[in-house]
Structure formats: structure tokens, C-alpha cells
A and B are shown apart, each in its own frame.
Chain A
Amino acid sequence: MTVKGLWVATRKGTFKVEKRAGRWQAALVGHAGTGVNYVARDPNTGRLWALLGHGHWGAKLSVSDDDGATWADNPAQIKFPEGARYIGQDMYEDSASDFGVGWRIVKRNATVQKLWVVGFGGDGAIWVGTIPGGLFVSRDGGGSFELNRPLWNHDSRGGDLFAGDGTGETKWFGTPASEGGEFAPGIHSICVDPRNPQRVLVAVSTAGVIETSDGGKTWRSRNKGMTMEHTPEPEAEWGHDTHVIELCASAPDHVWQQNHVGVFYSDNGAESWRKVSAPSEGVHFGFPVSADARDGRTAWVVPGRSDAQRMALDGGLFVARTNDGGATWRQLRKGLPQESAYDIVYRHALDNRDGLVAFGSTTGNLYLSEDRGDSWSAVSNNLPPIYAVRFA
């Protein structure tokens, strides 16, 4: 699909960015004042889907069939079914502990805290990932959504809590990237294989990458080669803090991952990963990665300074690009601020299409390149905090 425009989801609404009279311009087109976590176009129908997080009124799916001119709540909303529970951890005061607090395992009833990502299959399926970590699918064009129970009940998260108490142990841990401080694992990445819509990769913060090859009936971990040096068991099957994954549309065995502990790349469909961070080039920590649609070995990242700071390195904002599967990285700084810039770019806020690359920061800066990142110009410096940037 050729580029029609750029869609920007922000804390205060949905913006459409188009090139008019030779200049890219952003316009607020919907959801004024409402948090928008993600916006994307279903390539099967042309419908736009926005994932809203009303501060008071909960998470809502909003759709537009007229390219963003008007929006309406989708008649079917995402809801956890009765009996959906998950294992979480609660902190409590514990004077006997050196830290003054302890943790206890609890089983919580699930309600949607956040709609985080939507993905589309070539078979028309619409997949939505949530916090807590639910994967919902519609196979009737959005007329209804159903929780994928095999993944919800997966052994890695303690088994079937609809039926009983399961094993009592989960390998999925919380992420603070949620509204209201809800500390629960969430599904932020959904990659449907363009060759076979029965094959879907999802990624969870914090658990890792999970694959189905039978349309969601069974799931298995895809975390081989990922390492967590900060933990006692660096090569554990679960517990990986994948920040986002993207696959190459024309060569889907090439999958890119920005992780909490570095950048990883797979050229065998996530069967195994290898770390391709380049700390000397500042490429290590960050949230987004964008895979080129044509060349599986090309990808972009927007690095940040470690998890202790989570902002641009040394006050200079840059994008890094590799053309050789992560063997080498090149910093791209032309046109980006190199003094007193402390932006951070969220996991969905970098995208590329047909040579265009765009990213937006929580500081409200939106930058776009028309030459694959070699040079950049600011579309706006005054948008609300940016959560997602998608060409469509």
C-alpha cells in the first residue's frame, strides 16, 4: 500500500499528517482530549482503528471509515469474559523485611486496563493486545471480539484459571507502561505472517516472544538466543522484556526486536535471536524498532540512555540504521536537535514506509525523513506526548 498519510496517536487525540503544498502538516482529526494509545488502518477494509484510553471512562475501540473525518465507538468493545483471572503480585508492608515491604502472589479478576496494539491478518482477522496481557481476535470484521484462551491459559502464566487455581506460578511479569500504575504484563506487539495468517508472533512485556502457527490454538516461546545478564538465569525461557518486535513484510523470516537489554535480530522467523547492539554507536537501550518492508536486513532504532535514564544520549537526538542485519549501525543526526534534547520515543512511535521514516517523542516532537533517515525535518514541536506513529 502506498502512503496516504501518517497517523499519530497522542495523549490528547489522534492527528493526521499529510504533505500539502510541499510541507508535512499535522491536524487534530479526532478524540480531542482523550488518550490514544495506537492508531492503524486495516489494509483489508481501509477502516482506521484507534485504541483509546479515556482517563475516566475506560478503554475503547474507535473506528473511522472516512479516513479520519469522523469517528465512532466500535459497537463491539473489548471485554474480558467472566472468570478471566491472572496471577499478579501485590506489595505489602513487612517490617521484618530489609526493604520494609514484601510481595505476595494474588489472583486478580481481569478487566481491560489498556488497549495497546492492533494487528491485521491477511484472512481479515483483527487482533488486539491489552494490559493485562489478553489477546483478543475478531473474525467478523470487528463485529465481535473473543479472548484467545489458549494464550490466556498458557502454562507459562499458570494454566487455566477459569477452571481452577492452575499451577499458581506465572512467568509473565508486570510492566509499568500502563495507565494508573497498573502493574500487569501486557501484549504490545502483534505480527501476522503475510504468507500465512495462521502464524502470528506476539510479544509481551514482560515475558518475551510467543508464536502460534495454527491461528492461536497453541503457543510456544520464541526466546532462544535472548539473554538477560541482569538476572540469575540469563538464558531463561521466559521473563524477557521485549519492548517491541517487527517483521519485514516481504521477507517475514527477518524479525527485529528492541529489548530492555539490547537490540536483537532473527533471520529465521524468531526461531533464534542474536544480539546486535552496538554500544559504541549508542545502539543498545530504547523502545522502538522499525523493520524495512523490502529488505529484511535493514531496520531503524531510536536509542535512549539506559533504563536508568530513558532519554536521548547526551542531549543529542539521533536515529540509528543498519543495512546489514545489525552488523554495523550508522547514526543519523542531520536535521535533529543536538543540544539540550532529552526526548524519549515510545515503542510504537517509529515507522517507515516507502523510504519515509517518522518518529515522535513524549516531548511532542514529530520528525520525518524522506530519504530513509539520512536527513530529518520537524513536522511539529508542540504536539501532545506521542504514543504511536503509523504510516497508512
Chain B
Amino acid sequence: MPTSAPVVQVHLTRHLYAFFPQLEGRALDVEAADVAGVVRALEELAPGIGFYLCDERGRLRPHVNVFIGNAMVRDRRQLSDAVAAGDKVSILQALSGG
């Protein structure tokens, strides 16, 4: 079956496994054309994770960072940064807290 979108590898900060243990230890290869698509794909695998990464307007939360390869995404509002087949998409949290 032909794929409709590129397949990218998603790497999550380990913190998220505490809330979504079903994702731990598995390869997260998802089909997506942009970062918004990556978040949608993760939401299908782990319902609720989208609201951990983004607020109710779909914007990345202030202390969440997404990288495509080594580059931080530019569009934190619409998540429109494009991803290409084989890209590594890393979802991290800022080293903030107290």
C-alpha cells in the first residue's frame, strides 16, 4: 500500500513515558508531512499526549521544544514545519523547573 506521507522517527523525552508508558521501548515511526501531523499521529498512539505537548489552541507549550534533526522548529503556533522521510523528530522539555 502506498504511503500518503513521509515516515519519520520520533524520539520523546523520557519524562513523557511516565504519563504514557505504552510508548516506552517501541520505535515511534509515524507518517506525517509536518510537525502538526507528528502530534496527530502520537495522539492516535497515546490519547491525551497532544494536550501535553500543545495547549487547547494547538500551540506548542512554552517549555516544550521540537527539533527536526538538529534544528528547532520555527512555527510553534501552527506547527507547519515540514518533515521529510527519514527525519528524526525529537520532542524535549526545557530544562526549567524548581
A residues at B contact (CB < 8 Å): 54-58, 60, 73, 75, 77, 79-80, 82, 109, 111-112, 180
How distant is B53 from chain A, measured CB to nearest CB, in Å?
A: 8
- The yes or no answer to B96 lying at the interface (CB within 8 A) is yes
Q: Please, which residues of chain A bring their CB within 8 A of the CB of B63? A: 55-56
Do residues B61 and A58 form an inter-chain contact, with CB atoms below 8 A? Answer: yes
Do residues B55 and A111 form an inter-chain contact, with CB atoms below 8 A? Answer: yes
Q: Please, which residues of chain B bring their CB within 8 A of the CB of A58? A: 51-52, 55, 61
Interface of B is mostly: loop
Interface of A is mostly: loop
Which residue of B47, B48, B93 contacts A56 across the interface (Cβ within 8 Å)? B93
Q: Please, which residues of chain B bring their CB within 8 A of the CB of A80? A: 56
Within 8 A of A (CB), among B22-72: 47-48, 51-53, 55-57, 59, 61-64
Which residue of B53, B56, B98 contacts A112 across the interface (Cβ within 8 Å)? B56
Do residues B52 and A109 form an inter-chain contact, with CB atoms below 8 A? Answer: no
Q: Give how many A-B residue pairs fall within 8 Å (CB-CB).
A: 43
Q: Which partner residue on chain A sits nearest B54 by CB separation?
A: A58
Indicate the size class of the contact surface on chain B: 20 to 34
Q: Which 10 A-B pairs have the closest CB atoms?
A: A79-B56, A57-B52, A56-B93, A56-B63, A111-B55, A55-B97, A111-B56, A73-B48, A80-B56, A58-B61
Which residue of A57, A82, A109 contacts B61 across the interface (Cβ within 8 Å)? A57
- Using A56-B61, A58-B52 as known contacts, say yes or no to A73 and B19 having CB atoms under 8 A apart: yes
Task: Give 28 CB contacts A-B under 8 Å.
Answer: A55-B63, A55-B96, A55-B98, A56-B15, A56-B63, A56-B64, A57-B16, A57-B19, A57-B52, A57-B61, A57-B64, A57-B93, A58-B55, A58-B61, A60-B51, A73-B19, A75-B47, A75-B48, A77-B51, A79-B51, A80-B56, A82-B57, A109-B57, A111-B55, A111-B57, A111-B59, A112-B55, A112-B56
Most buried by B among A55, A75, A77, A80: A55
Q: Which partner residue on chain A sits nearest B94 by CB separation?
A: A56
Q: Please, which residues of chain B bring their CB within 8 A of the CB of A109? A: 57
Given contacts A60-B51, A112-B56, 6 further A-B contacts (CB under 8 A): A55-B63, A55-B98, A56-B15, A56-B96, A77-B48, A82-B57
How distant is A373 from chain B, measured CB to nearest CB, in Å?
A: 33
Q: Please, which residues of chain A bring their CB within 8 A of the CB of B52? A: 54, 57-58
The CA-CA distance from A376 to B19 in the complex, in Å, is 38
The CA-CA distance from A109 to B52 in the complex, in Å, is 19
How distant is A58 from chain B, measured CB to nearest CB, in Å?
A: 6
How distant is A226 from chain B, measured CB to nearest CB, in Å?
A: 34
The CA-CA distance from A82 to B93 in the complex, in Å, is 26
Q: Which partner residue on chain A sits nearest B51 by CB separation?
A: A77
Q: Please, which residues of chain A bring their CB within 8 A of the CB of B96? A: 55-56
Most buried by A among B19, B48, B56, B63: B56
The CA-CA distance from A80 to B58 in the complex, in Å, is 12
The CA-CA distance from A54 to B63 in the complex, in Å, is 11
Q: Please, which residues of chain A bring their CB within 8 A of the CB of B56? A: 79-80, 111-112
Q: Please, which residues of chain A bring their CB within 8 A of the CB of B61? A: 56-58
The CA-CA distance from A58 to B56 in the complex, in Å, is 10
The CA-CA distance from A54 to B98 in the complex, in Å, is 11
